[in-house]
């Protein structure tokens, strides 16, 4: 059985962040090796400032109350938890160049790489997930 999970995070909303980090932390807590490739809007999820204020989808703002009521952890908490559990964060170099971002704009401990870096990791991962 493959013991690697590969995740592509390509969207930058709050719901996207929960989808990515819930699966990632759950997998890491189940003794899986986990890497997330953050590309395009997905880079928001590990952006030092951006991750604190991720947007809800338009018209879905009323779910904010539900998140509080269900005591769902915040995204920065999940990011920290994921890193504690050994999840590897790979930021897409090309997108960073396009958006004028540097490694310092992101949470510490990330790797920067290209598509091939991710593909090499993901070649024997199961499952590979895209959000």
Partner 1 sequence: MNITKTVDAKGFACPMPIVKTKKAIDTIQSGEVLEVLVTDKGALNDFAAWAKTGGHTILEQKEEADVLTFYIQKA
Contacting positions for partner 1 (CB under 8 A) = 22, 25-26, 28-31, 70-73, 81, 85
Of 99 and 107, CB closest to partner 1: 107
Structure tokens at 5: 């999970």
Q: Give the shortest CB-31-to-partner 1 separation in angstroms.
A: 6
Choice between 29 and 119, CB closer to partner 1: 29
CA angle 3, 32, 115 (to 5 degrees): 75
Whole-number minimum distance, CB 77 to partner 1, in Å? 9
Q: Are 6 and 125 in contact (CB under 8 A)?
A: yes
Closest to 24 measured CA to CA, from 87, 76, 73: 87
Query: CA–CA separation, 21 vs 36, rounded Å?
Result: 9
In the complex, minimum distance from the CB of residue 66 to partner 1, in angstroms, rounded to a whole number: 10
In the complex, the smallest distance separating the C-beta of residue 24 from partner 1, rounded to whole angstroms, is 9
Task: Name which of 10 and 25 has its Cβ closer to partner 1.
Answer: 25
**CB-nearer residue toward partner 1: 74 or 130:** 74
Which helix (H) or strand (E) segment holds residue 90: the answer is strand 88-92
């Amino acid at each position: 059985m493959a013991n690697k999970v590969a995740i592509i995070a390509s969207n930058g909303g709050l719901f996207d962040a929960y989808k990515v980090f819930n699966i990632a932390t759950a997998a890491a807590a189940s003794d899986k090796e986990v890497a997330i490739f953050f590309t395009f809007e997905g880079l928001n999820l590990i952006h030092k400032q951006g991750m604190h204020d991720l947007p809800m989808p338009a018209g879905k703002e009323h779910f904010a109350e539900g998140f509080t009521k269900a005591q769902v952890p915040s995204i920065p908490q999940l990011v920290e938890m994921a890193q504690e559990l050994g999840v590897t964060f790979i930021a897409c170099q090309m997108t960073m160049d396009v958006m004028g971002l540097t490694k310092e704009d992101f949470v510490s401990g990330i790797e920067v790489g290209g598509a091939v870096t991710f593909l090499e990791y993901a070649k024997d991962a199961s499952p590979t997930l895209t959000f």
